């Protein structure tokens, strides 16, 4: 199989973790005869400093025909967040109709959960990724006067709710057959009751999948109190954003959390990126955890149909974490970004050496 992947390392630790993701995907590609062409793009805040834009004007056109996009992180103090994110990350998510943001959360053996009795945590957060609370509908009136006012509208559409909820139910069918909806229909009285209504309607099409729903406040408490009880969690854009930092924190570190911005119809390329951001405070020190990027690489291979290669990467992450060696400092170790990346790449390669030995 041959693939063309757009690489946007982006900013901050994105430049350090994305290369480790590529290193490990390449190790898996060698084993499974995948031919990957990495099209490296210098899009990000450095480019903005030189040309005044995060990406070229025809940027999206340039990568629309690629098989996937592999992204590090976007954002640096020299450019406002609104500018850097809404002229690069958000246009990719939206114009390529990546309306599902799939964020798996797992507790690995060897990873330092802050909970005394975490149990077996293995859930998937399905975050709506194109609308909701993240909307461009709104504005400011009477600036700099005592009548100054600001409005931002939440947008929920029937199509937008239904398609992300359907994805969640279909995913649950391949897992433990349970979907939990995050809501807040007791406080947000128009959009969230509508979300609940669409959730009920969708659940009636999946009678074999169990459902429950919680308001986002108690949902946050349950995610800490009994994280092992969740299977698939479906949430609006903002709620999904918050839960997908909380979930990984409960499994030890947000540094390992991956995400897949999916266009399930495959009309456009999907984008794979760690959940963490550019982390200016630790950037340039080779101490960031590369597992979020590496696991995102596995999600990408899985999406591209290279399932065995994806599984080889997950297995390598499991073994390296369980060994307790080469952990970065967010996991209680002292290893560098590159040494953890290399350890996982080596574990990928070693897998088949053992496999070959076993067969020979």
Site residues (vs Mn ion, CB under 5 A): 241
The full DSSP string for 238-300 is HHHHHHHHHHHHHTT-GGG-EEEEE-TT-SS-EEEEESS---TTTTTSS-S--HHHHHHHHHH
For the CB of residue 190, give the shortest distance to Mn ion in the complex, in Å: 25
| Six-digit token string for 269 | 């390329």
Nearer to ligand IPM, 67 or 241 (CB): 241
The entry of ligand IPM, Mn ion, none that residue 124 binds, CB within 5 to 8 Å by partner kind: none
Residue whose beta carbon is closest to ligand IPM:
241
The entry of Mn ion, ligand IPM, none that residue 17 binds, CB within 5 to 8 Å by partner kind: none
For the CB of residue 284, give the shortest distance to Mn ion in the complex, in Å: 22
Per the rule left: phi > 0, alpha: psi between -120 and 50, beta: everything else, 132 is left
Nearer to Mn ion, 20 or 241 (CB): 241
Nearer to ligand IPM, 59 or 132 (CB): 132
How much helix, strand and coil, in percent to the nearest 5, is found in the chain? 45, 20, 35
Residue whose beta carbon is closest to Mn ion:
241
The entry of Mn ion, ligand IPM, none that residue 282 binds, CB within 5 to 8 Å by partner kind: none
Binding site for ligand IPM (CB under 6 A): 85, 241, 275, 277
The entry of ligand IPM, Mn ion, none that residue 85 binds, CB within 5 to 8 Å by partner kind: ligand IPM
Nearer to Mn ion, 127 or 184 (CB): 127
What is d(CA 138, CA 10) in angstroms, rounded to the nearest whole number? 28
Nearer to ligand IPM, 9 or 241 (CB): 241
For the CB of residue 74, give the shortest distance to Mn ion in the complex, in Å: 12
The entry of Mn ion, ligand IPM, none that residue 20 binds, CB within 5 to 8 Å by partner kind: none
Strands 178-183 and 258-262: unpaired
What is d(CA 171, CA 6) in angstroms, rounded to the nearest whole number? 27
Nearer to ligand IPM, 85 or 320 (CB): 85
**Could you give the angle at which helices 291-303 and 337-359 cross, rounded to 10 degrees?**
50
For the CB of residue 60, give the shortest distance to ligand IPM in the complex, in Å: 18
The full DSSP string for 98-164 is --EEEEEEEPPTTS--SSSS----EEEEEEE-SSBTS-S-EEEESTTSTT-EEEE--B--HHHHHHH
Nearer to Mn ion, 21 or 247 (CB): 247
For the CB of residue 73, give the shortest distance to ligand IPM in the complex, in Å: 8
What is d(CA 214, CA 312) in angstroms, rounded to the nearest whole number? 36
For the CB of residue 241, give the shortest distance to Mn ion in the complex, in Å: 4
Q: How far is CA 317 from CA 34, 143, 260, in A?
A: 20, 51, 18
For the CB of residue 131, give the shortest distance to Mn ion in the complex, in Å: 16
| Six-digit token string for 299 | 């999600």
């Amino acid at each position: 199989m041959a693939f063309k992947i757009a690489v946007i390392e982006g900013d901050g630790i994105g430049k350090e973790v994305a290369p480790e993701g590529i290193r490990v995907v390449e190790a898996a590609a060698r084993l499974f005869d995948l031919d990957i062409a990495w099209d490296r793009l210098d899009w990000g805040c450095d480019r903005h400093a030189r040309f005044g834009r995060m990406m070229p004007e025809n940027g999206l056109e340039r990568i629309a025909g690629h098989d996937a996009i592999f992204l590090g992180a976007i954002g640096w103090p020299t450019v406002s967040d609104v500018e850097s994110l809404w002229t690069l990350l958000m246009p990719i998510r939206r114009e390529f109709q990546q309306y599902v943001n799939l964020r798996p959360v797992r507790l690995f053996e060897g990873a330092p959960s802050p909970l005394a009795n975490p149990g077996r945590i293995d859930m998937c957060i399905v975050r709506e990724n194109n609308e909701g609370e993240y909307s461009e509908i709104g504005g400011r009136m009477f600036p700099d006067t005592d009548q100054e006012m600001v409005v931002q509208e939440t947008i929920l559409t029937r199509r937008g709710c239904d398609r992300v909820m359907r994805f969640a139910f279909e995913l649950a069918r391949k897992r433990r057959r349970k979907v939990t909806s995050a809501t807040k229909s007791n406080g947000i009285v128009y959009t969230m009751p509508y979300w609940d209504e669409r959730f009920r309607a969708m659940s009636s099409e999946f009678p074999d999948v169990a459902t429950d729903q919680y308001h986002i406040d108690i949902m946050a408490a349950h995610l800490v109190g009994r994280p092992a009880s969740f299977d698939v969690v479906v949430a609006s854009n903002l709620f999904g954003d918050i839960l997908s930092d909380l979930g990984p924190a409960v499994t030890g570190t947000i540094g390992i959390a991956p995400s897949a911005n999916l266009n399930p119809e495959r009309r456009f390329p999907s984008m794979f990126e760690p959940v963490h951001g550019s982390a200016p405070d630790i950037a340039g020190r080779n101490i960031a955890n590369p597992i979020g990027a590496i696991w995102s690489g596995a999600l990408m291979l899985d999406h591209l149909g290279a399932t065995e290669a994806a599984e080889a990467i997950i297995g390598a992450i499991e073994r390296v974490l369980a060994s307790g060696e080469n952990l970065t400092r967010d996991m209680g170790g002292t290893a560098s970004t590159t040494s953890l990346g290399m350890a996982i790449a080596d574990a990928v390669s070693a897998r088949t050496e053992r496999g070959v030995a076993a067969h020979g």
